[in-house]
Structure 1
C-alpha cells in the first residue's frame, strides 16, 4: 500500500516511516519542518516520496493524498509549551491542520486514517477512594502545589486516593491547550468518518522516548530534557517530588502500534473510530525514570526540585489491553532495556 505519513520527518513520524518501509509499504511524507521541532533538516530515507509542505496548505495536501491508500497523521505541535501565548499555534497546527487534511482525504476518496492522539485527553488518571470508590479529582490548586501537596485528594472527603489504570472508555477531561487540541483532533476525525464512511484508529500515545528525540526545546518530552542535562554534565531536575506516575513507551513500540492499527482498519465498520491506548504496561515514576537514565548514562544524580507546572497531571497510566487483544500488538522494549539504550542514543538538534 501507499501510505501518507504527515509529520514523517519528526521524532515519532520518522520511526513510523522506517517501520512502514520495513513492512513493505510505499511511503509518502508531508512535513513542514517547523523550527520548534526541526533546527536542522533531517535525512530523507531512500525510496520515500518527500513533500516539504505544511498540512494546513490545502493545495499541498490535495496533491499529497492523491493515490494513497491510508494516512498516518503524526503532524502536530507537541508538549505543554511555555504559556498561553502558544494557544493559537497549537490550534492552528493541530486542529486546523487536521481539518485541512480530512477535507483533502474526503475529496480524494481516502477512507483510512491512523491518528496520533495522546493520553493527555484523559486529564488526571483513574483514582479510587477507600470510602467513595472511583472518583475524578479536580485540577490541583496553586496553593496545594506551592505547599508541596502534590497528590490530588478525594473531591468528596479530602482523603488520599489510590491511582489506577485508565481504559479507553474513561471520561475525557483535557487540562491544557495541547490536550484540548488532541481531543479536538479525535472529534474532527470521528465526524469525518461518519460523514464519508471512513475508518479511524486513534492511538493515544503515552510518554514516548527513544533515539532521535529532539533535544533542549520547550516541546521536548521529559526523557529528552533529562538526557540532554546528563549530556551537558548536569543533574536532571525532577519537578514536584518525583512521584508522578507515567508510562514510558519506546518509540519502536509506538511505530509497531501504527502498523498494527493500519492493518486493523479494514476490520472496523464504515463510519467508525476506535481509540487505543499505547503504553508499555510498566508504569514508573518520573523520579524512577530520571534515576534509571542517570545510572545508565553514568551521570549526576537527579535533583528533586519541588517545582511544578500548572496543567500537569499527577498520575496518568492506562491499560493497553484493547490494542493487545484486538490487534495483536504488544510492546517489545522493557523499561530497563530502553533506558539503557536511550542513555547513549543520538538526539536530534531540534
Structure 2
C-alpha cells in the first residue's frame, strides 16, 4: 500500500515512516516543519516521497492524496504549550488541519484513516470511592494545589479515591485546549466516516518517549523535558509531589500500533470510528520515571518541586486490552529497558 503520513518528519511520525518502510509499504510524507517542533530541515529516508506543505493547504493535501491507499494522520501541535494564548494555533493546526485532510480524503476516495489521538481526552482517569463507587472528580482547586493537596477528592463526600484503568468507552472530559482539540479530531473523523463509509482507527497515545524526541521545547512531553535537563547537566524538576501516575510507552511500540491498525483496517466497522488506547501496560509515577532516567543517565538526581500547572491531571492510566485483543498488538519495550536506552539516545535539536 501507499501510505500518506502527515507530520511524518516529527518525533512519532518519523518512527512510523521507518516502520512502514520496513513492512514494505510505499510512504509519502506531508509535513509543514512548524518551528515549534522543527528548527532544522529533517533527514528524509531514501525512498520517501517528501512534500513540504501544511495540512491546512487544500491544494497541497489534494496533491498528496493522489494514489494513496490509507492515511496515518500524525500532524498536530502537541503538549500543553505555554498558556491559553496558544489556543488559536492548536485549533488551527489540529482541528482545521484535520478538517481539510478529511475533505480531501472524501474527494480522493481514500477511506482508511489511522488517527493519532491522545489519552488527554479522558481528563482525569478512572477513580473509585469506597462509599460512592466509580466517580468523576471535577477540576482540582487552586487552593488545594497551593496547599499540596494534589489528589482529587470524591466529588460527593470529599474522601480519598482509588485510581484505576480507563477503558475506551469511558466518557471524555478534556481539561485543556490541547485535549479539546484532540477530541474534536475524533469527532470530525467519525463524522467523515459516517458520511463516506470510511474506517477510522483512533489511537489514543499515552506518554510517548524514545529516541528523536525534540529537545528544549515547551511543547514536548515530560520525558523529553527531563532528558533535556539531564543533557544540560541539570536535575529534572518533578512537579507536584511526583506521585502523578502515567503510562510511558516507547515510540517503537506506538509505530507498531499504527502498523497493527493498518493491517486490521478491514475488520473495523465501515462508516465508523474505533478507539484504541496505546500504552505499555506498566503504569509508573512521574517521579519514578524521572528517577529511573536520571539514574540511567548518570545524574543529576531529580528533584521534586511542588510546583503545578493548571490543566494537568493527577492520574491517567488506561487499559490497552482492546488493541491487544482486536488487532494483535503487543508492546515490545519494557519500562526499565526503554528508560536505559532513552538516557543514551540523542534528542532532536531541530
Q: TM-score, normalised by structure 2?
A: 1.00
Q: Which moved more, 1:276-285 or 1:225-234?
A: 225-234
Distance (whole Å) between structure 2 residues aligned to residue 328 and residue 102 of structure 1: 27
Aligned to 2:209: 209
Mapping of 1:17-36 within 5 angstroms? Answer: 17-36=17-36
> C-alpha separation between the residues in 2 aligned to 1:257 and 1:225?
25
For residues 108-123 of structure 1, the aligned pairs below 5 Å read 108-123=108-123
Q: 1:250: which partner in 2?
A: 250
Aligned to 2:131: 131
Q: Distance in 2 between matches of 1:188 and 1:35?
A: 26
1:190 aligns with 190
The residue number in structure 1 matching 2:259 is: 259
Matched with 1:274 is: 274
| CA–CA distance in structure 1, aligned partners of residues 265 and 87 of structure 2 | 32
Q: CA deviation at 1:268?
A: 1.5
Q: Determine the structure 1 residue equivalent to 2:343.
A: 343
1:227 counterpart residue number? 227
1:305 and 2:302 aligned: no
How far apart in 2 are the matches of 1:340 and 1:189? Answer: 37
Tell me, what secondary structure is at the counterpart of 2:86?
Answer: helix
Q: Distance in 2 between matches of 1:79 and 1:174?
A: 13
Aligned to 1:102: 102
CA distance in 2, matches of 1:270, 1:278: 22
**Residue 6 of structure 2: aligned partner:** 6
What is the alpha-carbon distance in structure 2 between the residues aligned to residue 268 and residue 157 of structure 1?
42
RMSD: 0.4
What residue number does 1:316 align with? Answer: 316
* Partner SS state of residue 343, structure 1: helix
Deviations 1:76-106 (A, max 9, x none): 0000011111000000000000000000000
Q: Tell me what 1:152 maps to.
A: 152
CA distance in 1 between counterparts of 2:154 and 2:73 reads: 38
Structure 2 equivalent of residue 284 of structure 1: 284
Answer with 208-217 or 267-276: which moved more.
267-276
2:219 counterpart SS class: coil
**Aligned to 1:307, what secondary structure does the other structure show?**
coil
Q: Which runs of 5+ in 2 are unaligned?
A: none
CA distance in 2, matches of 1:239, 1:42: 32
Q: Which residue of 2 aligns with 1:140?
A: 140
Distance (whole Å) between structure 2 residues aligned to residue 216 and residue 75 of structure 1: 20
Structure 1, unmatched stretches of 5+, are none
Three-state SS of the structure 2 residue aligned to 1:5 is: strand
Secondary structure of 2:344's counterpart equals coil
Instruction: Give the number of equivalent residue pairs.
Output: 350
Please state whether the residue corresponding to 1:12 is helix, strand or coil.
helix
2: CA distance, partners of 1:93 / 1:188: 14
Other structure's SS at 2:264 match: helix
1:272 is displaced (CA, Å) by 1.2
- How much has 1:269 moved relative to structure 2? 2.4
| TM-score, normalised relative to structure 1 | 1.00
Q: Which residue of 1 aligns with 2:181?
A: 181
What CA distance in whole angstroms lies between the structure 2 residues aligned with 1:135 and 1:125?
10
Matching residue of 2:74: 74
